[in-house]
Amino acid sequence: MRDLKELVRVARTAAAGAARFIRESAPPPPAQWTVKDRHDFVTDVDRRAEAMIAEVLLDAVPGSAVMGEELSPDAPAPAGDGVVWIVDPLDGTTNFLHGYPQYAVSVGARVGDELAVGVVHDVARDLVYHAARGAGAWCGDRRLAASAERDPGRALIGTGFPFKRPEEIPRYLKQLEAALASSSGVRRAGAAALDLADVAAGRLDGFWEQSLAPWDVAAGAVLVREAGGVVTTFEGSAQILAHGSIVAGGPALHSWLLNLARIV
């Protein structure tokens, strides 16, 4: 446990430095945005933040590897109990570029084959969510607990749009229609790491999205699980570290949301 707590400390230090840099950086004008994919942008702020994070992590944990969205999207499998950091230096880049205050630094750690550490630093609010396997999920010194709500009609659900994959929109609209009809509301804020932090904190009773990358979900998934929630793919697998779907929620509503997300 001491080793995982030390990894949390390192991740928090790296995320805090990047968050400070992002807060002090003015969003660049559109002419300086690089288009990575349909409606998906990256800037020098993202790249520099990731380089800062990687430097701190690799210096603190020699022999570890970094899988980062901008500079190192592929990372080797760790040897034995080796550490792979899974980093999104600026989750919610489009929000940042438009001055919409919903973006975060996300640092997760896989130890061997298991997700073990998650840190999500809410940049605009300067809030730090952190968790280690077996040690609970926290915001500062406040322990987090996922929702115990059992009635979908009382649930507030988060989601993400398939904005990069228009071919997935028809299926998504069926899911959205079902969620709107059976819940008390659906929200889309545009930063999956913070959506998962909200699930861990019980502010959202559940969250689903059709297509996310490992760095979008690694840290947040640890938060949700350590807060007593459940995180799976649409197929019900707990192995979420691939480009694909995710369903997260309190244990009472996860199965309901999973069935909703499977609508074809």
Give CA–CA dist 127/259, Å, rounded.
33
pLDDT digits (tens, 9 = 90+) for 215-234: 999 999 999 999 999 999 99
According to CATH, the superfamily of the domain at 2-143 is: Fructose-1,6-Bisphosphatase, subunit A, domain 1 (3.30.540.10)
Using 50, 70 and 90 to split pLDDT, how confident is the model at 167? confident
pLDDT digits (tens, 9 = 90+) for 55-103: 999 999 999 999 987 766 665 554 557 999 999 999 999 999 999 999 9
Task: Please compute the mean of the pLDDT values over residues 202-217 and round it to a whole number.
Answer: 96
Q: Which CATH architecture has domain 152-261?
A: 3-Layer(aba) Sandwich (3.40)
Q: Can you give the residue ranges of every domain in the chain?
A: 2-143, 152-261
Phi-psi region of 134 (alpha: psi -120 to 50; beta: other; left: phi over 0): left
Q: Beta partners for 104?
A: 91, 122
Q: What is the pLDDT of residue 166?
A: 81
Task: Please compute the mean of the pLDDT values over residues 160-171 and round it to a whole number.
Answer: 86
Give CA–CA dist 90/50, Å, rounded.
8
The pTM score is 0.93
Q: What is the pLDDT of residue 35?
A: 61
Task: Please compute the mean of the pLDDT values over residues 186-202 and round it to a whole number.
Answer: 98
pLDDT digits (tens, 9 = 90+) for 14-56: 999 999 999 999 887 776 666 655 545 568 888 899 999 999 9
98-101: long-range contacts, CB 8 A cutoff, minimum separation 24: 98/27, 99/27, 100/190, 101/125
Residue 189 has pLDDT above 80, yes or no: yes
| Residue given tokens 């969620």 in the structure block | 179
The answer to whether 67 and 58 are in contact (CB under 8 A) is: no
Q: What is the pLDDT of residue 242?
A: 85
**% of the chain with per-residue pLDDT over 90:** 79
Going by the DSSP 8-state scheme, the letter that residue 139 receives in this structure is E
Give CA–CA dist 45/53, Å, rounded.
12
Q: What is the pLDDT of residue 54?
A: 96
Task: Please compute the mean of the pLDDT values over residues 225-248 and round it to a whole number.
Answer: 95
Relative to beta strand 206-212, strand 185-187 is unpaired
> Which residue, 229, 72, 194, is CA-closest to 121?
194
